Amino acid sequence: MIKKFIRKILGVKNDRDPTEPVILGPEEHKIDPKNVSANAVRVTQTLQEAGYKAFVVGGAVRDLLLGVKPKDFDIATDATPEQVKRLFRRAFIIGRRFQIVHVMFGQDLLEVTTFRGNGSDNAPKDEHGRVLRDNSFGPQHEDAARRDFTINAMYYDPATQSVLDYHGGIEDIRAKTLRIIGMPEARYREDPVRMLRVVRFAAKLGFTIEPTTRAPIPVMAPLIDNVPAARVFDEMLKLLLSGHALACLKELRSAGLHHGLLPLLDVVLEQPIGMKFVTLALESTDGRVKAGKGVSPGFLFASLLWHQVLEKWNAYRAAGESPIPALHLAADDVLETQTDNLALQRRIATDMRDIWAMQPRFERRTGRAPYKLLEHPRFRAGYDFLLLRCASGELPAEIGEWWTEFYDAEGGERERLVAAANTREREGGGPAKKRRPRRGPRKSNGEGAPATQGAGGGEE
């Protein structure tokens, strides 16, 4: 009776005892055992044979229930990290504050975590209520209650093929609902990154955020400012590399999470002028992720911030700087604000600068210049970036087409292309491939994007 009352005031929807799981068999959950990695089975089996509990947990179970092959498998157990380590030949305890074990099989890495207890009431917190450290072990039902969303809090035992569900995750999976476990405000306060996670899952899975889970987000969004920048950056990267970046950004906006939260997002979402470019960049990123191709974070962030760079570049040039130094000054400005706020790693920032700095060079198609550019170690990224600029209407499509031909061409053909470009240049028609007399500056056919014609064309 009292338990029931407490659950009622905690907003627990049904009368289920959250310390007792609902257990589903294979004919109910319909998980295809073929989607379970052999190494995950190996780990759970080894732990179970040593007398411990062991389950696949979290995102992997969610994906299995959705019929998707999980990209990685996390294991939860009641064995301590030391006990886990002893059972495997290549196992490493990592993390100082909360230890987890990395078990390796060849290239495959599995994360094994000991059930965490709900010590978070006494855990040290910052002045905003964010939990700083929380290291206690506990029973399985407490581990379940500490997870973020109901659909992420289920356990799968490969040996018995059963799913353990403490929080109605199965129903929420079926209803395509994202529901936070416990009191939403309290859970976001403990860890504001959960607000970004719910948005990412909603966009990625095509799920709806349940109203009480969603309601506090716009109000609590500023709490993300207190989260260490590196952690926000990691989450942003996950979001942008989820294969659903565009949907994620729209969702962030509609959840009220974009404002004043991440300088990057403010810039991206509140400048319609760069929106076409960003949309194209994210579409192409999403396409690559879905096709299993690699995406470089440097390219991604270079795209997201390009229009900010462009604006400053134009401003420096208008103030009398010559184009190349002006571009570097603009890049400095943009990188400086973003590295402060977003903890852009140095390596990523270097890639971004390379990609930007290459851009004026694409407008020089005479003499040896195009050959030199082709040898640039990051040519491919710079060229892909150029194509986005053309596709968004910032530059004439013809420049991109010329480079595509030049890139694909064999020796003699390249000479011919450069010669053709030289001729156009001499005739004063600008670097055009087809004979089309041009008068005056070429017009950008974009949506008002600042034109950069002549930015690099011709100058040394």
The dihedral region occupied by 182, where left means phi > 0, alpha psi between -120 and 50, and beta the remainder, is left
Residue 151 C-beta: closest distance to ligand ATP, Å: 8
234 vs 340, beta carbon nearer ligand ATP: 234
- Contacted entry of ligand ATP, Mg ion, none for residue 147, CB cut-off 5 to 8 Å set by kind: ligand ATP
Separation CA 458–CA 460 (nearest Å): 7
234 vs 332, beta carbon nearer ligand ATP: 234
72 part of the active site: yes
59 vs 370, beta carbon nearer Mg ion: 59
Separation CA 364–CA 345 (nearest Å): 31
CA distances from residue 12 to 116, 142, 151, 167 in whole angstroms, order as listed: 21, 15, 15, 9
- The site for Mg ion, by CB under 5 A, has a size of 1
Residue 253 C-beta: closest distance to ligand ATP, Å: 21
The residue from 78, 134, 148, 286 that is catalytic is 148
Separation CA 343–CA 214 (nearest Å): 27
Residues that bind ligand ATP (CB under 6 A): 58-59, 74, 147-148, 152-153, 191, 193-194
225 part of the active site: no
Binding mask 57-96 for Mg ion (x = CB under 5 A): --x-------------------------------------
Residue 199 C-beta: closest distance to Mg ion, Å: 16
- Contacted entry of Mg ion, ligand ATP, none for residue 274, CB cut-off 5 to 8 Å set by kind: none
Question: Which residue's Cβ has the minimum distance to ligand ATP?
Answer: 59
- Contacted entry of Mg ion, ligand ATP, none for residue 193, CB cut-off 5 to 8 Å set by kind: ligand ATP
3-class DSSP state of 269: helix
Q: Is 100 exposed, middle or buried (0-12, 13-18, 19+ CB in 10 A)?
A: middle
3-class DSSP state of 259: coil
Separation CA 250–CA 316 (nearest Å): 32
At position 297, the amino acid (one-letter code) is P
The two three-digit tokens of residue 419, written as one number: 């010669």
At position 235, the amino acid (one-letter code) is E
Cα atoms in the 13 Å half-sphere on the side-chain side of 160: 13
Question: For residue 435, what is the enclosing H or E element?
Answer: none
The two three-digit tokens of residue 259, written as one number: 């404002």
- Contacted entry of Mg ion, ligand ATP, none for residue 351, CB cut-off 5 to 8 Å set by kind: none
Residue 219 C-beta: closest distance to ligand ATP, Å: 19
130 vs 147, beta carbon nearer Mg ion: 147
Residue 56 C-beta: closest distance to Mg ion, Å: 11
31 vs 193, beta carbon nearer ligand ATP: 193
59 vs 393, beta carbon nearer Mg ion: 59
- Confirm if 36 and 158 have CB atoms less than 8 A apart: yes
Residue 63 C-beta: closest distance to ligand ATP, Å: 7
Among the candidate windows 54-62, 215-223, 275-283, 291-299, which touches Mg ion by CB under 5 A? Answer: 54-62
- Contacted entry of ligand ATP, Mg ion, none for residue 76, CB cut-off 5 to 8 Å set by kind: none
Question: For residue 102, what is the enclosing H or E element?
Answer: strand 100-105
Beta-bridge partners for 100: 94
Residue 73 C-beta: closest distance to Mg ion, Å: 8
147 vs 365, beta carbon nearer ligand ATP: 147
74 part of the active site: yes
End-to-end Cα separation, the chain, in angstroms: 81
The two three-digit tokens of residue 395, written as one number: 């530059």
Catalytic residues: 72, 74, 148
Give the footprint of Mg ion on this chain (CB under 5 A).
59
